[in-house]
Amino acid sequence: MRGNELKPHIGIFGRRNYGKSSLVNYLTGQQIAIVSDLAGTTTDPVKKTMEIGGVGPVVWIDTAGIDDEGTVGRMRIEKSLEMLMQADLALILFTDNRFEAEEVMLVESCRKRNIPYILIYSQADRFRPDPHLLEQLEADYETKVFVLTVKDPSLRETLTSRIREALPETAYMQRTLLGDVIGEGDTVVMVTPIDDSAPEGRMILPQVQVLRDILDQHAKAVVCRETELEQTLQQLSQPPQLVVTDSQVYAMVAKIVPDEVALTSFSVVLARAKGLFADYVKGTPFIDQLQENDRVLMLESCTHNVTCEDIGRVKLPKLLAKYTGKNLKCEAVAGLSSLPRPIGEYALVIQCGGCVLTAKQLAARLAPAIEAGIPVSNYGLAIAYMNGIFQRSMRIFER
């Protein structure tokens, strides 16, 4: 159930021809990345999944050199730095006894974002490391430099162990979605609309993730469409402990579900599990302060086929316009694509549930807005707020 984007990401960073691609091949034991003496062989990030004992599957990211040149080279550097912001752990390579502005920038970027990192002196068989430089770096950065030559297979397990120790548990220990609010034997009703925006022949990922978590708690899941919800509730021998609905039918479902029954949405459940819930709760009421012609940024974590019933690009903008009575300029960005304009030009950012992102990637995605003091919200919380059920959607999590 965990796609690549939900696995811990380990990025490999450094200058061109410093052995980044060789390190990917060395660690995976496969010829995944192209290795060449020609500088700039790696142009776009290359990802490879590999199992690490005690951690599970992780995604290795081989990146372009941070000293690339020219217009295209600067674009490659920007892409590498984007990967750094999404990494759960960074391996920073240096060699030939050079630790200069590029390497310092990588370390400082990691420190600023609280990204753990390992300094690796690569190609030690070609360039003998200066012990004084290593001592100075270890003193300055309070970390042990790993000296490596990929020609020595005996170092692989030692380096893997070092990586295992440095990788934060939060990157691979998955937090339960509902385990602290439901228990064994409880009944949870899942309301899953089927419209033009629903994928053909399957459920969307947030629904699958919540369903699996319900089963993991040894609770019972009852799944229905919104059109059968009232009948479903009547057929239950007793009220469910919780109803979880798709955000787009929040208003309709809220009218059907008795007030004494806990109600929330898939988007709210995921938002709470990703670690930015407090920011969403604080930012959502700013909807009332939106002014004429304000820009609102809709962040969609995944890329999907846009339809006339698309929630982020169609339904949510219409609801915002109706609720505020203002002419708002809503812009949507899918996946991890660059923003069409500086973040400071937006009055509000509304993020989807983030089902395909790790908590680290989601935090990195929203960090520029939060740091700039721009309020952030979430699809589910924003829709609940505009339908007058904001507090109700969070009630079960306050118990």
Alpha helices by DSSP H, listed for the chain, are 20-28, 70-86, 101-112, 131-141, 155-166, 205-216, 229-235, 250-256, 266-273, 277-283, 316-324, 359-371, 379-386, 390-394
Q: How far apart are CA 399 and CA 397, in angstroms?
A: 6
Higher-scoring residue by pLDDT: 360, 236: 236
pLDDT of residue 3 exceeding 60: no
The better pLDDT of the pair 41, 228 is held by 228
Say what the pLDDT of residue 171 is: 65
* Residue 223 vs residue 30, higher pLDDT: 223
CATH classification of 278-386, choosing from 3.40.50.11410, 3.40.50.12280, 3.30.56.10, 3.40.1780.10? Answer: 3.40.50.11410
Task: Supply 123's token pair.
Answer: 């190609």
**In sequence order, which residues have a C-beta less than 8 Å from that of residue 367 and are 6 or more positions away?**
85, 113
329-356 pLDDT tens trace: 999 988 767 788 999 999 999 998 877 7
SS3 343: helix
Q: pLDDT at position 198, please?
A: 61
Q: Is the pLDDT of residue 39 over 50?
A: no
Q: Tens digit of pLDDT for each residue in 184-239? A: 999 999 999 986 666 677 788 889 999 999 999 999 999 999 999 999 999 999 99
Q: How confident is the model at residue 102 (pLDDT cuts 50, 70, 90)?
A: very high
What type of residue is 246?
Answer: D
C-alpha span between 249 and 176 (Å, rounded): 25
* pLDDT category of residue 174 using cuts at 50, 70 and 90: low
> Which residue, 205, 207, 214, 246, is CA-closest to 357?
205
Domain at 187-270, CATH from 1.10.10.10, 3.40.50.300, 3.30.365.10, 3.40.50.11420: 3.40.50.11420
Nearest CA-CA partner of 164 in 52, 88, 74: 52
CA 145, CA 138: separation in Å to the nearest integer?
A: 7
Place of tokens 């949405």: 265
Fold agreement between 4-171 and 187-270: yes
Of 358 and 302, the one with more pLDDT: 358
Segment 152-179 mean pLDDT:
85
Residue 355's pLDDT is: 74
**Chain position carrying tokens 């400082």:** 108
Query: Residue 277 pLDDT more than 50?
Result: yes
Give every strand in the sheet of 46-52, ordered side by side: 46-52, 56-62, 9-13, 89-94, 117-121, 146-147
Average pLDDT of the chain, as a whole number: 87
pLDDT of residue 253: 96
What are the φ/ψ torsions at residue 185 (nearest 5 degrees)? 85, -10
Is it the case that residue 363 has pLDDT exceeding 90?
A: no
Q: Give yes or no for a contact between 384 and 395, defined as CB atoms under 8 angstroms apart.
A: no
Least confident of 79-83, 350-354, 364-368: 79-83
pTM above the 0.75 mark?
A: no
Does residue 304 carry a pLDDT above 60?
A: no
Across the strands, what pairs with 58?
50
In the chain, where the domains are located: 4-171, 187-270, 278-386
Asked whether 209 and 355 are in contact (CB, 8 A), the reply is yes
Question: What CATH code is assigned to 4-171?
Answer: 3.40.50.300
* Percent of the chain predicted with pLDDT > 90: 59
CB of 245 closer than 8 Å to CB of 265: yes
